[in-house]
Amino acid sequence: MGLKWWQKVTVYQIYPRSFKDSNGDGIGDLQGIISKLDYLQELGIGAIWLSPVYQSPMDDNGYDISDYEAISELFGDMQDMDELIREAKKRGIAIIMDLVVNHTSDEHPWFIEARSNPESSKRDYYIWRDQPNELESIFSGSAWEYDEEAKQYYLHFFSRKQPDLNWENTNLRKEIYQMMNRWVDKGIAGFRMDVIDMIGKEPDHYIVNNGPKLHEYIQEMHREVLEGRDVMTVGETWGASIEDGIKYSDSARQELSMVFQFEQVGLQHEPGKSKWYYIKDVDVPAMKEIFKKWQTQLKNGWNSLFWNNHDLPRILSIWGNTKEYREKSAKALAILLHLMKGTPYVYQGEELGMINYPFQSLDQIEDIESLNFAKEALSEGKTMEWVMDAIRLIGRDNARTPMQWDDGPMGGFTEAPKAWLPVHPNYRSVNVKAALENRLSIFYTYQKLIQLRKEQDWLVYADFELLDTEEKVIAYRRNTIDASYLIVMNWSDNLSSFTLPIDDVDEVISNTDVEQVIQTKTLRPWDAFCVKLKS
Ligand code: GLC
Ligand code: CA
């Protein structure tokens, strides 16, 4: 396989509600994004993954779509969208749209017609049964909702306002491919595919992810939309094993460019339990094994590399240090991740070291998943304290507080006195303006990593070799025929011992004094670096 453009770029995820408000209503929008493209160009990213901006009743902040080809008036209109595509392109930035086709909104015309008329051709676009089974919604409660109008139950794996689409229906699939083609024709560069591993579901057999027809559908989508067009695609696949990862991303199979696999995220909570049963201490040895597996066994597939997204807690709050080592741990985690094989993703604010929000009560929470969880947990007798602890650490609103642009009112996010979610109180010191003014800020570590990705081909090609180290130290080598690079990180607030294999090295990037590490054979807390080994 020749080198693809998306193997040499870093992707930046924008959650539009929270990025930049241009019209003073407290909600981010497309003109806000356009006004910050120069900033993103300076960071150096090659693509934006734009979380949904489509028309939506916003039950799940736009992941409930009522028109795939209209823009929500909260965010602007189609002219703004075209302007964003154009202005981004001028700066060498491609736009990747979020594709949410496992479900629509219940306000989508298809569903309105389907529920009101059993004879309609749209009825079968959704999944109806006379009796519910035991399937549960990912957002708590039964996955089935009785519809008075339809006199049947419909399936919804997310909120009640997100009915699941029936991918068995050929016409539905055709309509989706046509819609995707029109978006590609508009000039977008690809899709991030929301919960794509669920489209092959077989609800009667309790098969939710990885259904028997899943890959057949994706290959059909490839033929109907992606083939011959130079787009990148990334599937969101929560349960993907390495074998699944190969199926999706092996180029010969003609499916997707890559998937988001979540094995490392699984280490955040107790095995077999819901994500709200979190584990505070990172299991570094387990993490090493997961990295090793995905870095070495994907064969002709391709990885995505990420710590954060709009569904996950801020990485520093769960696995970094938000206190005395906030900056250093942020740089360390970035260095560790970005020098692996795969396409790196940066979630807005990650490049500033943004952290979880200290939510005090449920009134401050907007996220439907957290609110449903709270309701259910409280009704089962859990205390409010337990619920708030879980939401503070794991809840999705942590990633969704407004981007912090400067130290002015509302962190420069909006001119309104109030934003849709509160601005993190640390905005006075943690913001874009301060980061740009300080050559040692986290921002510049990201900028350099993004630059390296563009310039250094070994990041794409070199083999990955995990080294045997002390428990809290992760070290790997990337080897090509004529060069070898060593990447090391101390995932801890304490000293760890580490001996470099040779003293004669060229520093590529670091958050520490590499000379001192060589001399003392000691890593200080959160030390991280990459060196080229000279031999
Ligand atoms: C994906 C999205 C999440 C959304 C869900 C339903 O997991 O990332 O934000 O709530 O799908 O669309
Ligand atoms: Ca706005």
Ligand 1 atom, smallest distance to 368 CA: 10
Which one, of 69, 425, 37, 7, lies nearest residue 232 by Cα?
Answer: 7
Confidence class for position 505, pLDDT limits 50, 70, 90: very high
What integer pLDDT is reported at residue 238 of this predicted model? 95
Cα(410) to centroid of ligand 2, in Å?
14
Cα(194) to centroid of ligand 1, in Å?
6
Range 154-170 average pLDDT? 98
pTM comes to 0.98
Confidence class for position 189, pLDDT limits 50, 70, 90: very high
Burial 158-179 (b: 16+ CB within 10 A, else e): bbbbbbbbbbebeebbebbbee
From the CB of 194, is ligand 1 less than 6 Å away? yes
Name the residue of 194, 199, 236 whose CB sits within 8 Å of the most ligand 1 atoms, as the mutation to test its pocket.
194
Q: Which tens digit of pLDDT belongs to each residue from 92-137?
A: 999 999 999 999 999 999 999 999 999 999 999 999 999 999 999 9
Residue 293 has pLDDT above 80, yes or no: yes
Cβ-contact 250, 301 below 8 angstroms: yes
* DSSP letter assigned to residue 506: E
Cβ-contact 375, 381 below 8 angstroms: no
- Ligand nearest the Cα of residue 369 is 1
From the CB of 158, is ligand 1 less than 6 Å away? yes
Cα(163) to centroid of ligand 2, in Å?
28
Q: Dump the DSSP string for 25-73.
A: SSS--HHHHHHTHHHHHHHT-SEEEE---EE---TTTTSS-SEEEEE-T
What integer pLDDT is reported at residue 502 of this predicted model? 86
The number of residues in the chain equals 535
Cβ-contact 157, 138 below 8 angstroms: yes
Residue 43 has pLDDT above 90, yes or no: yes
Torsion, Cα 356 359 365 369, to 10 degrees, reads 60
Range 72-80 average pLDDT? 98
Range 255-283 average pLDDT? 95
- Ligand nearest the Cα of residue 156 is 1
Which one, of 118, 102, 204, lies nearest residue 159 by Cα?
Answer: 102
**In the block, which residue shows the tokens 């579901």?**
201
- Ligand nearest the Cα of residue 80 is 2
194 is catalytic: yes
Q: What angle do CA 133, 137, 143 make, to 5 degrees?
A: 35
| Averaged pLDDT score across all residues of the chain | 97
Q: How far apart are CA 465 and CA 171, in angstroms?
A: 47
- Tokens for 137, please give them: 């919604």
From the CB of 100, is ligand 1 less than 6 Å away? yes
What integer pLDDT is reported at residue 201 of this predicted model? 98
Instruction: Say which residue, 319 or 280, is predicted with more confidence.
Output: 319
Residue of 29, 106, 147, 194 marked catalytic: 194
471 is catalytic: no
Residue of 64, 147, 164, 236 marked catalytic: 236
From the CB of 63, is ligand 1 less than 6 Å away? yes
What integer pLDDT is reported at residue 123 of this predicted model? 98
Which one, of 464, 482, 368, lies nearest residue 139 by Cα?
Answer: 368
Measured CA to CA in angstroms, residue 247 lies from 111, 209, 253, 489 at distances of 32, 14, 7, 31
Which one, of 168, 297, 193, lies nearest residue 255 by Cα?
Answer: 193
Q: Give the dihedral sign, CA 317/319/321/326.
A: negative
Q: How far apart are CA 454 and CA 8, in angstroms?
A: 5
